[in-house]
């Protein structure tokens, strides 16, 4: 059914403007335009005095033009005013000096030479844009303009300017905010009162939300602050409702999936394992264990997220769940994000299980099983054995990287998939899994050390149950962290290396982590992924030099620590070499390991006491916390030194100080999230495409999301197809079609 919202914009604003809307903002229909909400509002009189402008502000000023010059950007020659009309298609820079009577401000306009004929000296106008500094002169760059003392204003224009709030839209030079405002006004004046509202009336009444038409009027042309907040509130709810409806539908589908129940059985591997554990489980570990066993008993697949501080002992929890499934005749898979970690997990599990993992071998225990390893870099023979063991069921547990899922690996009876150190395990992966286990879907346990705020868990992982391990096992040694300002205090860096030597002297080991590999080949992206984020969170200054590399540090330490056994590890070494280095390090045959973030997650060498992180400001908060979790894992107290060239009150230095001041991962995660943008939180690529979350913030709007979740759940439980709510259904449909729901799907 066609509503006004589906009508083409060009029917209202003319072909030329409509084309600009399409080109610049990807807006085609009336609905697209009306849902391009103002970014903010300019309250009349809300002007910034020139002497209060600050670099980086979005400011609006009222000034009188003092001087105008237009130059060619190619020749730098000044263009006489009478000739500017000939320059409309060429590269120009128009500089306008305006004054508020006391101070001057420079405005820089690119490729709009005609402005010079409008902004003649003496003209009074409003200008808005970002305050920047160029060659020590404060500027507004490419600001929006509105001449105030224009003589021949149209009636509509006079009315528009009389409004108490001016909506300011995301706009460009080609499509200025005033044009958007005018177009919105035309469309709103012609809007049918009978628009179908995606938020059902009953719910609107209950939640006291504005109807669609009224909300659209008020969000674009508000008369009061209250208009703005009521309208925005309604659209936030609408966004939350659409999102939660998608998730509720998805939950309904998941709930309908079948899984083989794997109830806990007595007298099997699990009991035997528990009996032999060299330590007692923490309270959290046994509670979470029970939650998992309860899930595994059901005939529907478990889908649980286990979040727990670095070193909180998630592996044991996972292993116990896996053993329980094996006791039931099923198989379990443990997926790790890297080969280094998969290999290490394989060894750890074998070690923990001892003769319980020696099935069919001399000295193997009764009902012993086998732990297989399947990574991309196995040779053909190893691969064949591992595949056979998986397919025959000989291997009760198979450890591997994610490639394992894409592979043609078959299982005799896959009952449980554990995903380590990753909190995104999307619909696609689950689909791949189901394909491996026939009409039954395996149970899934996802583990992460990165705490996720509740609303994000609810949004991104809408159909996940969450368990949390908050305590660390008793007897864990504290980690002491300090920032080392290497440039300001080079003697501190010397001291850091001396500390490394002392620790090695005591029989301990050390990591030195660098942000880059540095053998002049383009860097491996999997190791550098988070770095970009770390950079961006910085202070926006140009980084003076490339980040320090493993190779550079190896060269330097080759001299400073020439008497120690120093080795390197990074993602581009051949798999066998990585494995060999890690094995030597774990065996204590290497004193100092210089590595990239390949060691970031999961690596567990209790004898490693010290970590020096070079150019620590190039890493994000949670990454530093993860890295630091590699030390202080045994009885040896941990030491983490965050080396940086920074030394000031900058935001980046502040982040390092925060990491040094606390080892509480949840606290750090909160600090981290506060400095991130919404899109980063959700993992949405900042593609510049229209987002289906425009006003809703998963960090701020917790309450709205909770309510919407509740509403969506009850709608779906009585009317899964939304037959009664066609408007909501079509919204959900288009949200699903838009790429922006990627964050709901992707790994």
For Mg ion, the binding residues (CB under 5 A) are 602
Give the nearer residue to Mg ion in terms of CB position, either 462 or 602. 602
| Least distance between ligand ADP and beta carbon 312 (Å) | 4
| Least distance between ligand ADP and beta carbon 601 (Å) | 8
The torsion defined by the Cα of 431, 435, 437 and 443, in degrees rounded to 10, comes to -10
| Least distance between Mg ion and beta carbon 310 (Å) | 8
Q: Residue 58 contacts by C-beta under 8 Å, 6 or more apart in sequence?
A: 40, 128, 129, 130, 131
| Least distance between ligand ADP and beta carbon 681 (Å) | 23
| Least distance between Mg ion and beta carbon 613 (Å) | 19
Q: Which does 282 bind (CB under 5 to 8 A by kind): Mg ion, ligand ADP, none?
A: ligand ADP
Give the nearer residue to ligand ADP in terms of CB position, either 218 or 314. 314
What are the two backbone dihedrals, phi and then psi, of residue 41, each rounded to the nearest 5 degrees? -125, 145
Query: From CA 683, how far away is CA 679, in angstroms rounded?
Result: 6
CA distances to 4, 6, 177, 194 from 1, in Å: 10, 9, 32, 13
| Least distance between ligand ADP and beta carbon 566 (Å) | 25
| Least distance between ligand ADP and beta carbon 318 (Å) | 8
| Least distance between Mg ion and beta carbon 348 (Å) | 9
| Least distance between ligand ADP and beta carbon 416 (Å) | 17
Helices and strands: H and E segment counts in the chain: 28, 21
CA distances to 258, 308, 728 from 418, in Å: 18, 15, 36
For residue 93, the surrounding DSSP H or E stretch is strand 92-99
Tokens (6 digits) for 680: 């980063």
Closest residue to ligand ADP, based on beta-carbon distance: 313
Q: Are 216 and 34 in contact (CB under 8 A)?
A: yes
Tokens (6 digits) for 392: 């025959």
Output the CA torsion sign for 357, 358, 360, 365. Answer: negative
Q: Which does 312 bind (CB under 5 to 8 A by kind): Mg ion, ligand ADP, none?
A: ligand ADP
Query: From CA 447, how far away is CA 312, in angstroms rounded?
Result: 11
Q: Rounded to the nearest 5 degrees, what angle is found at the Cα of 305, between the Cα atoms of 301 and 309?
A: 155
CA distances to 181, 182, 184 from 165, in Å: 12, 14, 14
Give the nearer residue to ligand ADP in terms of CB position, either 316 or 561. 316
| Least distance between ligand ADP and beta carbon 628 (Å) | 12
Categorise residue 676: left if φ over 0, alpha if ψ from -120 to 50, beta otherwise: beta
Tokens (6 digits) for 667: 């606290």
| Least distance between ligand ADP and beta carbon 666 (Å) | 14
What is the DSSP secondary structure assignment for residue 241, as one 8-state letter? H
Q: Which does 301 bind (CB under 5 to 8 A by kind): Mg ion, ligand ADP, none?
A: none
Q: Which does 655 bind (CB under 5 to 8 A by kind): ligand ADP, Mg ion, none?
A: none
Q: Which does 36 bind (CB under 5 to 8 A by kind): ligand ADP, Mg ion, none?
A: none
Strands 137-147 and 124-134: antiparallel
Helical residues (DSSP H) of 451-489, grouped into ranges: 454-460
Give the nearer residue to Mg ion in terms of CB position, either 557 or 603. 603
Q: Which does 413 bind (CB under 5 to 8 A by kind): ligand ADP, Mg ion, none?
A: none
Nearest alpha carbon to residue 564 among 611, 513, 503: 503
Give the nearer residue to Mg ion in terms of CB position, either 129 or 602. 602
Give the nearer residue to ligand ADP in terms of CB position, either 110 or 279. 279
Q: Are 195 and 7 in contact (CB under 8 A)?
A: no
Q: Which does 308 bind (CB under 5 to 8 A by kind): ligand ADP, Mg ion, none?
A: ligand ADP
Q: Which does 620 bind (CB under 5 to 8 A by kind): ligand ADP, Mg ion, none?
A: none
Give the nearer residue to Mg ion in terms of CB position, either 31 or 632. 632
Binding site for ligand ADP (CB under 6 A): 279, 281-282, 285, 308, 310-316, 449, 473, 602, 604, 606, 633
Q: Which does 346 bind (CB under 5 to 8 A by kind): ligand ADP, Mg ion, none?
A: none
| Least distance between ligand ADP and beta carbon 629 (Å) | 6
Give the nearer residue to Mg ion in terms of CB position, either 309 or 615. 309
Give the nearer residue to ligand ADP in terms of CB position, either 312 or 434. 312
Query: From CA 245, how far away is CA 100, in angstroms rounded?
Result: 53
Rg (CA), the chain: 31
Give the nearer residue to ligand ADP in terms of CB position, either 409 or 636. 636
Exposure b/e, 110-129, CB count within 10 A at least 16 = b: ebbbbbbeebeeebebbbbb
Tokens (6 digits) for 141: 């760059």
Nearest alpha carbon to residue 669 among 384, 413, 423, 327: 423
Taking residue 323's Cβ as centre, other Cβ atoms within 10 Å add up to 26
Taking residue 81's Cβ as centre, other Cβ atoms within 10 Å add up to 14
Give the nearer residue to Mg ion in terms of CB position, either 231 or 469. 469
Give the nearer residue to ligand ADP in terms of CB position, either 308 or 638. 308
| Least distance between Mg ion and beta carbon 304 (Å) | 16
Give the nearer residue to Mg ion in terms of CB position, either 217 or 312. 312
């Amino acid at each position: 059914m066609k509503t006004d919202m589906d009508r083409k914009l060009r029917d209202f604003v003319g072909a030329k403007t409509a084309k600009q809307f399409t080109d610049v903002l990807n807006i085609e229909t009336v609905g697209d335009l009306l849902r391009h909400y103002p970014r903010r509002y300019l309250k009349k009189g809300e002007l910034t005095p020139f002497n209060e402008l600050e670099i980086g502000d979005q400011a609006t000023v009222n000034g009188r033009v003092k001087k105008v010059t237009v130059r060619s950007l190619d020749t730098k020659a000044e263009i006489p005013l009478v000739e500017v009309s000939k320059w409309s298609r060429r590269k120009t820079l128009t500089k306008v000096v305006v004054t508020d009577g006391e101070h001057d401000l420079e405005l820089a306009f690119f490729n709009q030479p005609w402005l010079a004929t409008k902004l003649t000296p003496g003209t009074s106008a409003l200008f808005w844009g970002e305050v920047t500094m160029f060659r020590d002169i404060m500027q507004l760059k490419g600001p929006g303009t509105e001449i105030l003392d224009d003589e021949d204003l149209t009636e509509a224009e006079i009315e528009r300017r009389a409004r108490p709030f001016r909506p300011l839209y995301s706009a460009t030079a080609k499509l200025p905010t005033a044009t958007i405002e005018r177009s919105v006004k035309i469309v709103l004046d012609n809007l049918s009162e009978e628009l179908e509202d995606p938020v059902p009336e009953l719910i609107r009444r209950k939640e006291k939300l504005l109807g669609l038409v009224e909300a659209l009027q008020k969000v674009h042309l508000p008369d009061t602050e209250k208009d703005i907040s009521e309208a925005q509130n309604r659209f936030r709810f609408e966004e939350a409702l659409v999102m939660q409806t998608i998730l509720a539908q998805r939950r309904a589908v998941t709930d309908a999936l079948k899984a083989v129940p794997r109830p806990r059985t007595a007298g099997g591997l699990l009991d035997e394992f528990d009996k032999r554990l060299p330590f007692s489980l923490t309270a959290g570990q046994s509670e979470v264990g029970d939650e998992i066993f309860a899930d595994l008993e059901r005939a529907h697949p478990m889908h649980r997220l286990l979040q727990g501080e670095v070193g909180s002992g998630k592996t044991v929890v996972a292993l116990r769940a896996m053993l329980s499934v094996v006791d039931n005749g099923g198989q379990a898979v443990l997926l790790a994000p890297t080969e280094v970690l998969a290999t290490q997990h394989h060894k750890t599990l074998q070690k923990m299980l001892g003769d319980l993992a020696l099935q069919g071998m001399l000295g193997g225990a009764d009902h012993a099983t086998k732990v297989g390893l399947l990574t991309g870099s196995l040779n053909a023979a190893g691969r064949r054995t591992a595949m056979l063991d998986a397919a025959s069921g000989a291997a009760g547990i198979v450890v591997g990287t994610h490639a394992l899922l894409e592979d043609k690996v078959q299982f005799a009876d896959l009952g449980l998939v554990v995903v380590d150190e990753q909190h995104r395990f999307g619909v696609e992966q689950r689909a791949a899994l189901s394909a491996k286990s026939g009409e039954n879907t395996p149970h899934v346990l996802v583990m992460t050390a990165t705490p996720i705020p509740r609303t994000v868990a609810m949004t991104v992982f809408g159909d996940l149950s969450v368990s949390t391990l908050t305590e660390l096992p008793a007897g864990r040694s504290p980690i002491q962290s300090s920032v080392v300002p290497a440039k300001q205090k080079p003697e501190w860096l010397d001291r850091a290396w001396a500390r490394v030597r002392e620790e090695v002297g005591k029989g301990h080991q050390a990591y030195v982590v660098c942000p880059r590999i540095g053998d002049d080949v383009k860097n491996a992206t999997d190791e550098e992924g988070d770095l970009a984020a770390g950079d961006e969170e910085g202070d926006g200054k140009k980084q003076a030099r490339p980040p320090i590399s493993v190779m550079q540090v190896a060269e330097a330490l080759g001299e400073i620590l020439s008497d120690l056994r120093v080795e390197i590890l990074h993602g581009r070494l051949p798999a066998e070499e990585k494995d060999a280095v890690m094995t030597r390090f774990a065996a204590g045959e290497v004193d100092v390991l210089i590595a990239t973030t390949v060691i970031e997650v999961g690596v567990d060498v209790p004898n490693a006491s010290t970590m020096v992180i070079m150019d620590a400001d190039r890493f994000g908060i949670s990454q530093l916390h993860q890295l630091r979790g590699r030390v202080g894992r045994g009885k040896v107290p941990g030491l983490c030194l965050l080396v940086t060239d920074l030394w000031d009150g900058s935001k980046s230095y502040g982040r390092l100080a925060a990491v040094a001041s606390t080892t509480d991962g949840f606290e750090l995660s909160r600090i981290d999230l506060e400095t991130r943008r919404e899109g980063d939180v959700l993992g949405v690529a900042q593609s510049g495409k229209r987002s289906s979350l425009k006003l809703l913030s998963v960090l701020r709007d917790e309450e709205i999301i909770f309510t919407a979740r509740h509403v969506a759940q009850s709608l779906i439980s009585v009317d899964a197809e939304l037959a009664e709510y066609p408007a909501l259904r079509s919204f959900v449909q288009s949200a699903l079609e838009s790429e922006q729901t990627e964050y709901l799907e992707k790994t």
